[in-house]
Chain A
Amino acid sequence: MSAMNWTIVAPEIVLLTMACVVAVVDLFVTDTQRRVTYWLTQASFVAVAALHLWLLPDSAPYGMQDMVVSDSMGHALSFFATVAMIFTVAYAQPYVASRDMLKGEFFTLAMFVLLGIQVMTAANNFLMVYLGLELMSLSLYALTALRRDHAVATEAAMKYFVLGALASGFLLYGLSMMYGATGTLTIPDAFTAIGTGRINKEVLSFGVVFVVAGLAFKLGVVPFHMWIPDVYHGAPTAVTLMIGGAPEFAAFAITIRLLVEGLSGLAPEWQQMLVVLSIASLVLGNLAAIAQTNLKRMLAYSTIGQMGFMLLGLTPTVIGANTLSAANAYSSSMFYIVTYVLTTLGTFGLIMLLSRQGFESEEISDLAGLGQRAPWMAGVMTLLMFSLAGVPPLVGFYAKLSILQALVTTAAVPYIALAVFAVLMSLVGSFYYLRVVKVMYFDPPAAGMPEVRSAAGVSALLAINGAAVLVLGLLPGGLMAMCRDAILKALTS
């Protein structure tokens, strides 16, 4: 068991090395040659993604003396996070360049964010979870504050840092309770210890409250959502995307690692909490989003609502039921988060594309008449909005479908009621997504709007992103099966 098993951490090693290389190389390039750094970063991401794909079929060998686990779920999530990062950096490059933020730090920090995410997805130890989380969060705080002379961004960074530190404290405190009760930091050992039934239940329950609170902060669900609107709004859009994109995979991964793999013995406790968090998020996220006029803020509240929906997939009681039905429920959440990040990438990518020097296209009204000004982009945005609203044949519908399916197949009345409630809340949600489409197509373009110009490469990437939302909607089977296999392996190992 306690071997080093270097191969399974190959992606992380490559990423760490390349992050250092990029940092050093950047010292020698001038501002005009910054392309070198950009391409080097993207090349490292591609290599890391490839390594994760190569390691994907692994079934749970442990490595680094049981600090990390290499299973399909971890590699799949890391792979998706890396791809999300490739898109993020590609969308961000012209945006940060025009705002004088295109320094080497941007790339190095982005790589450290990804490294933190990968440490979390592979964590097999409470401390690894925490280390990955801190690596990611600290890099993100710095990125948010990258625009030093910008008051709103600095304020957002401050808020993010204070609240994020508080959340980390919660999580760490909860984990220390777990350690105190079970006497181990290794997740599978904690699972075994709880399974014996000889552990003091009160300490465990007390600890699990803090763990869930810490996770809820990271996922951004009510009542731990306060930072989301301010940070999404205040951070430069490129960083907003970096916060709202790839890190969602990490948040999901540690939720599964801690709650399902480590603490599934306490499932009745944490599932109740998740139900409350979901309901509160669905209500607040969807209702508050209606009132927003700022597109980034609206998407922030929409994130809260979407995360509430995603958490529903983790709530069905599976204790005593078979692993298959558990995999069914949890994998629907995984599918949901993958598709959600895919759409988020597109929406924020589009906001960046429409912004220019000295003009942030972040009010909903800035999209007015986009259907005439830039039909292709409006088309992509329409697909994304309908997908978020959960209208078939777009991928967002199948994500909602699989969550609802997980709830209804429990055949318990409270869960069916929960499904009906979630459905009604997504009806409320569809209103503000529709409003974006309305502004783009039904409203005439405002006078004096700058012409939409964009690099061909970024536009092509955005078109691919939009097409993926549609194609995955028409053929969602492959991705669903992949999520299911990944979760199934994680549960049976």
Chain B
Amino acid sequence: MGLLSAAIWLPIAVGVLLFAVGHDGNARAVRWVALIGSILSLLVTLPLISGFDAHTATMQFEENFAWIERFNVRYHLGVDGISMWFVPLTAFMTVMVVLAGWEVITQRVALYMGAFLILSGLMVGVFCALDGVLFYTFFEGTLIPMYIIIGVWGGPKRVYAAFKFFLFTLAGSLLMLVALMYLYYKSNGSFDILTWHKLPLRDGAQSWLFFAFLAAFSVKVPMWPVHTWLPDAHVEAPTGGSVVLAAIMLKLGAYGFLRFSLPIVPDASREWAWFIIALSLIAVIYIGLVALVQNDMKKLVAYSSVAHMGFVTLGFFIFSDLGVSGGLVQMISHGFISGAMFLCIGVLYDRVHSREISAYGGVVNTMPKFATLAVLFAMANCGLPGTSGFVGEWMVIIGTVKTSFWLAALAATTLVFGAGYTLWMVKRVYFGDVANAEVKALADLDAREMAVLSMLAIAVLWMGVYPKPITDVMNVSVGELIKHVAQPKLP
């Protein structure tokens, strides 16, 4: 079994094992098995980083077997510089999520941990799949565990949120399914994504395919105006669910643009780039303003995610090396930062059981260690130099300036709005005088929470100070992609 298969199936196998034998009577054992399983799943992804050859844009660690011969569907896995980092990132965030749910989740622990491990394996599968049907299987398969996670452990409106999440994402991806069928027909019976990259397509067909892909990926990213499921899902999901949603699941959509839209329909991508750029800028500016007026911390971070993802799609559709790499760096960095911010909210919520900003005030007085870390993540969220948040945004803005100064100026407003909504929240929650008795009674981080947040803090700082190892891996693949997109693919 190859490395990528191991990274996909190990967490799934552990998850299924937990489903099969776990119950609340052996919750302690379930937690440990889940933790060990997730750590092992992270360890098997490490050889990817050390063994990756950054000098080539070809797929590496490939596995290619016949799967459904009737339709020539293949079990084809591989990573290139674009997808490689997301595999360890997913595995890493899963460890964080398992740790974050350690004490908070007391009911149906096996179902919770199992669902997250299975989800982790499926998401790794999305990043590795090089076959259309295989990709779709993983892409859609993620809905099942997430639906259960939101619906079972979520807040008061969890049922509504779970349905909205499921139906929105399903609606988008079903249209993509028809597009995949069409490509299968056009390529004379192949579901191989790399074959599709080379497939000449007429202009009209390209546009249709482009919008079918857009339907699937824009919902997942999510882009304005189909983002409305995200705040609902985030607010109602348990902490772990929010972390996975923000850190990894949103990236599946953005990744889809790079794997499908840009290389398969490059002409349509260039033709409709203005449309995506417009939607991205609306997300950056309008959603930034919406975030400013939120009273609920989770909603605020959810809207901030939409705004940040707008930056990612903007970077992709200006078709420059810097833009695409910047978007990718932003995706990874946002994975760490948004995950950390949701974990911080989780820390507060576990103690006070409120996500309202007004329920807090002066937390720094009672939780100094926690406040230090939380402020660091907040700074990273608004793109402070020296944190990972800065690198991606800066690269995208520089890339955009080359295309158009005014676009870049509009995009750069994110630095203002981001700082606005994040710091204002920090001010109201953490600083000032102790607001009420509940805040006064807060206990600072315990060792487990400290460990989780410090690991994320290290990641954020390391990426901010020395992003070279990450961008080095991407450079060649991104360069090839940009070259590929620049060439017309009309027959």
Contacts and interface: CB of A to CB of B under 8 A. Distances in A.
B61 interface: no
Contacts of B162: 438, 442
Nearest to A407: B181
B151 A409 contact: no
B69 A481 contact: yes
Given A402-B71, A431-B167, A477-B67, A416 B141 contact: no
A419 B185 CA distance: 14
Contact of A404 (B166, B167, B178): B178
A60 interface: no
A391 B185 contact: no
B415 interface: no
Interface in B444-465: none
Contacts of B123: none
A43 interface: no
Contacts of A420: 175, 178
A386 B144 contact: yes
B19 interface: yes
Interface in A183-210: none
B70 A442 contact: no
Interface string B150-190: 01100000110011001100110011011001101100000
A481 B70 CA distance: 6
Interface in A410-434: 411, 416, 419-420, 423-424, 426-427, 430-431, 434
A8 interface: no
A335 to B, nearest CB: 9
A426 B23 CA distance: 34
Given A397-B140, A434-B163, A480-B68, A427 B184 contact: no
Interface string A328-349: 0000000000000000000000
Given A372-B108, A393-B141, A442 B177 contact: no
Contacts of B141: 391-393
Given A386-B144, A392-B140, A430 B166 contact: yes
Contacts of B19: 379
Contacts of A386: 144
Contacts of B295: none
A107 interface: no
Contacts of B69: 477, 481
B163 A393 contact: no
A408 B185 CA distance: 7
A402 B166 CA distance: 23
A437 B185 CA distance: 35
Nearest to A398: B68
A441 B148 contact: yes
B141 to A, nearest CB: 5
Interface in B66-89: 66-71
B133 interface: yes
Nearest to B71: A405
A434 B68 contact: no
A382 B148 CA distance: 10
A419 B179 CA distance: 10
Interface residues of B, number: 38
A408 B171 contact: no
A447 to B, nearest CB: 18
Nearest to B171: A427
A416 B182 contact: yes
A296 interface: no
Nearest to B185: A409
A379 B111 CA distance: 11
A408 B178 CA distance: 7
Given A391-B143, A438-B151, A441-B151, A477 B175 contact: no
B52 interface: no
Nearest to B163: A434
Interface in A152-203: none
Contacts of B286: none
Contacts of A372: 108
A401 interface: yes
Contacts of B64: none
A391 B177 contact: no
Given A441-B152, A480-B71, A424 B174 contact: yes
A411 B68 CA distance: 22
B162 to A, nearest CB: 7
A476 interface: yes
Given A391-B141, A409-B184, A480-B71, A431 B178 contact: no
Given A427-B167, A441-B151, A408 B137 contact: no
Interface string A237-249: 0000000000000
B394 interface: no
Contacts of A393: 137, 141
Nearest to A409: B185
Most buried by A among B71, B147, B177: B177
B166 A442 contact: no
A402 B70 CA distance: 10
B102 to A, nearest CB: 22
Given A404-B181, A481-B69, A426 B163 contact: no
Given A391-B170, A401-B133, A430-B170, 7 more contacts: A371-B111, A371-B152, A393-B137, A404-B177, A408-B182, A411-B185, A423-B175
Interface of B: 19, 23, 66-71, 108, 111, 133, 136-138, 140-141, 143-144, 147-148, 151-152, 158-159, 162-163, 166-167, 170-171, 174-175, 177-178, 181-182, 184-185
Interface of A: 371-372, 375, 379, 382, 386, 391-393, 397-398, 401-402, 404-405, 407-409, 411, 416, 419-420, 423-424, 426-427, 430-431, 434, 437-438, 441-442, 475-477, 480-481, 484
Report the 8 A-B pairs with minimum CB-CB distance, sorted nearest first.
A408-B181, A392-B137, A480-B70, A477-B68, A423-B174, A442-B151, A409-B185, A392-B140
28 contacts: A371-B108, A371-B152, A372-B108, A375-B111, A386-B144, A391-B141, A392-B137, A401-B71, A405-B71, A407-B181, A408-B181, A408-B184, A408-B185, A409-B184, A409-B185, A420-B175, A423-B178, A426-B174, A430-B166, A431-B163, A437-B147, A438-B163, A475-B67, A476-B68, A477-B69, A480-B70, A480-B71, A484-B70
